[in-house]
Structure 1
Amino acid sequence: MKKITFLLAGSLLALSCNQSKTSDGNQDAKVQNTEASSTTASAQTSTGNKKFDIESIPVSTIDIGEFPFFTAPKGAMYINNVKVKPFDFIVAATDDSLFEVEGKVFRAWIHEDKSGGIEISNRYLLKSYEDAILAAGGVKIFEGELKGDRLEQYNKLVTYAGDDGSFIPSDGQQMLTYVIRRNDGNVYIILEKKDFATTSFQIVQEKPFQQTIKKITADDIVKDLSEKGKSILYINFALDKSAITTDGKAIVDQIAKALKNDTSLKIAIEGHTDNTGDGSHNKKLSDDRSLSVMTQLINNGIDKTRLSAKGFGAERPLVANDSEENKAKNRRVELIKVN
């Protein structure tokens, strides 16, 4: 089977012949595909007002390349240097339901490429994507606007609204939903109808969640202390307090085990916070938390002469405190090997 290259620019020539009064003519997109015709014929039928059932849609085996599968059409570009998220979700809409789809996600705004010298329209963008999606064996499962309770429910579900290319629907705003049913993960695409030359492109390929968190062991701690001179740990405490949670105590138990395995090992326990809130409060909180870890270790049988504790608040961030993800990285406990 030949691999399909979805070069969206130039794939609407055939469509424009029949719809010359409504399309952008020679700005069309072309899909280089010699195998899709039989699949495309059956794929162009929307589910209409019928109840959505993924099992009723033919499975596409067409090679569509690497995620996110579709380039921006000629004369357009994805903006803001957006990246693929290995795991996230998108809320899809059909005539009868709203539902979350989890997996690999890409969301981007599409604007006219000012350097390209080509004037484009929203119709051109939507036709370009639809032609490419149908050629990939896709089916349009919704076109229209969300109203009343459905609109309110959708906007409650899309907690990512406004992020990257995710638009926020409102009364009178139309959207389109497509699905490509595949054995390697169904692909859902959402586009936005507008009255000017831009749209949003949201795509998700269903993938199961893969756990990446692993249990911290004494061996991990010893290895870090030996190779790096320190071990960075994320010990859970009660919110804005120094009390160690049950999960946090499990990590402290592993620290104690590491110290028991090497009786010559001495460590300094350093507490760190992000920059949220008052600086003096954060300093005291980090002090109290590092002392809590030391106390727990002493209770586990570790000689207090092998331990010291100090908090630094937000004075020594690992990374810039410019996102919630980075702030979480800065809220940590570091064990420093003392020679």
Structure 2
Amino acid sequence: MKKTGLLLFTALLVISCNQKNKENESTTNDSLVTNEVSKPIETGFNIENISVSTTDIGVFPFINLPKGLREMNKPLVREFDVCFFPIDGIMTPFEGKLYKTFIAPNRGENFSQHFFEKSMSDYLLSIGAVKIFDGEITKEEYDRYNKKDPNKGGEGDIGYAGQNIKFWVLRTKKDGNIYVQYLSNNAGASLNVLQEAAFEQSITKVTAEEISSDLIEKGKAVLYINFDVDKSIISNDGIETVNEIALALKNNPSIKISIEGHTDNSGNADHNKTLSASRAEAVKEKLTSNGIDKNRLAAVGFGSEKPLVANDSDENKAKNRRVELIKIN
């Protein structure tokens, strides 16, 4: 009996000790979980936390390439555009004056990744820039943002999953906020520089007075009338411009015009010529419906045959997609 009681006491003692150990383990684990959740995570970017540099950094794009290196092709330079930079691994858009280029060694020389990156980091530190990011973005992040970047796949493009991107910010008293990102491998590098600037609207309403003045003084008026994509249907804002043409002709009843449609060189040349003719005819029909005698109007399409400027950039192609009013008397 004593032996049985002793065994029972021992069993209860073991069970009690095991239960206590489990309670202690549970308490410890709960404490670890609580501490991990409550630990503050440092995220976000505030440019106000970066000191303003008074260093003279020259003129845009503010960075001369290291010795022995060159721009591989013609760099992308825009007075106003958008560029995406990694903030906490999130590709974030900033707007302003933009420079993007691929970098290669001079002919006959080899590219040193270490030389390029040390040259960049030492120079940026010397002028007061601060490194904000040094790492890769995820494939999920690339998939999220890449279609929002109008320059994706273009000159000096940066921002693909698996690329090691180095992103710096420089605040200056004279030139404002400057954003710099670059990457390199054993063959070459890419560099982006953006001088942040607010957007300034440059589009103003075309007026009948301006059209009249151009026709009388220059013999022609160059207009940008919007149409539905690949169609000759005039958009709502395009109709407003056509209404101003009608008013200009009513104010100058002796003027006769030829309405000439033009496109850029994208796509099939025959299709572009047909489309430009259809659009010129659509403007003529709208003017006629506004009370302008059809005998004062002619319509013709030239497609891409008479560009204003070379079709060598998106901006120039936009300039070539136009309607010209030519005074014919």
Fold conserved between structures, TM > 0.5: yes
Which residue in the other structure is 1:309 paired with? 299
Which residue in the other structure is 2:36 paired with? none
* Distance verdict in 2 for CA 1:154–1:125, change over 3 Å: farther
Identity among equivalent positions (%) equals 47
Aligned residue for 2:298, secondary structure, equals strand
Which residue in the other structure is 1:106 paired with? 99
The letter for the 2-side match of 1:167 is I
Aligned residue for 1:142, secondary structure, equals strand
* Distance verdict in 2 for CA 1:120–1:301, change over 3 Å: closer
Report the TM-score when normalising by structure 1. 0.76
- 1:76 matched to 2:69: yes
Structure 1 unaligned blocks of 5 or more? 1-47
Which residue in the other structure is 2:57 paired with? 64
Which residue in the other structure is 2:130 paired with? 139
Contact conserved, 1:185 with 1:205, CA < 8 A, in 2?
yes
Matches within 5 A, 1:1-339: 50-82=43-75, 84-95=77-88, 97-114=90-107, 121-167=112-158, 169-171=160-162, 173-183=163-173, 184-194=175-185, 196=186, 198-321=188-311, 323-339=313-329
Aligned residue for 2:56, secondary structure, equals coil
For residues 207 and 53 of structure 2, the distance between their equivalents in structure 1, rounded to whole angstroms, comes to 45
Report the TM-score when normalising by structure 2. 0.78
* Distance verdict in 2 for CA 1:156–1:236, change over 3 Å: closer
Deviation per CA, 1:264-294, whole angstroms, max 9, x where unpaired? 2111222233444555544443333222222
Structure with bigger helix share is 2
* Distance verdict in 2 for CA 1:276–1:207, change over 3 Å: closer
Deviation per CA, 1:165-200, whole angstroms, max 9, x where unpaired? 1235243x3111111123542111111142x15211
Structure number with greater Rg is 2
CA apart distance, 1:202: 0.8
Aligned residue for 2:172, secondary structure, equals coil
Aligned residue for 2:155, secondary structure, equals coil
Contact conserved, 1:236 with 1:248, CA < 8 A, in 2?
yes
Contact conserved, 1:49 with 1:95, CA < 8 A, in 2?
no
Which residue in the other structure is 2:16 paired with? none
| Aligned-CA RMSD value | 2.6
Pairs aligned (count): 288
Structure 2 unaligned blocks of 5 or more? 1-40
* Distance verdict in 2 for CA 1:225–1:121, change over 3 Å: same
Aligned residue for 1:126, secondary structure, equals helix
Contact conserved, 1:176 with 1:193, CA < 8 A, in 2?
no
Contact conserved, 2:89 with 2:136, CA < 8 A, in 1?
no
For residues 285 and 248 of structure 1, the distance between their equivalents in structure 2, rounded to whole angstroms, comes to 16
Which residue in the other structure is 2:34 paired with? none
